[in-house]
Amino acid sequence: MQSLIRPALVLFGALTLICGIVYPLAVTGIAQAAFPEQANGSLVRHGGQVVGSSLIGQSFSSPRYFWGRPSATGPMPANGAGSSGSNQGPANPALGEAVKARIAALRELDPGSTAAVPVDLVTASASGLDPEISIAAARYQMGRVARVRGLDAARVAALVDEHSKGRLLGVFGEPRVNVLALNLALDAESLHTR
């Protein structure tokens, strides 16, 4: 028994040193050197202050702003400390009612729009923290945002185009737009047009 304790303790110490200290320091050092922005949270600064992260969605409720995907996080929407989905499947009546209510709210704020409501504006994601919406979701909201802000619809469309991202490597994912970046650009545009 005595002969097994010493090698076990040495192995425990070596693995603790390698896995608990050396490896995390190496990965952190490589990340800071190669990808400093991402390693530090992809923080978005505006006016010298951190206003969010380009990787975590925020809850915008004013009609002056583009809205992101609904969030099922608790106790508040887009809670980065409580990432979660609603766990409601397509057969769940509660999901159907929530979608109907979201569609009604979108239609009420933009009664002139007859376009189909994009699915990402009425359904929450698994994380509840999506920072981006589809191009269709952004285009659906352009009329409301332009009207409420008193901006030219063509200028709002140009802002959506300027902030749109294509598929990753031209293949993966869908074209999308970061809601926080687009809303910050809208605020800047509104300041210029005053």
Same-domain pairing of 27 and 54: no
CB atoms within 10 A of CB 22: 11
What average pLDDT does range 8-12 have in this prediction?
Answer: 94
Residue 193 is predicted with a pLDDT of 65
Tell me the pLDDT of the chain averaged across its residues.
90
| pLDDT tens, residue by residue, 72-87 | 887 778 887 878 777 7
- Number of domains present in the structure of the chain: 2
Same-domain pairing of 10 and 46: no
Nearby residues of 126 by Cβ (< 8 Å), 6 or more positions away: 85
Phi/psi for 46 (5° steps) reads: -145, 120
The more confident residue out of 133 and 59 is: 133
Same-domain pairing of 170 and 180: yes
Residue 85 lies in domain: 42-192
Instruction: Specify the pTM.
Output: 0.81
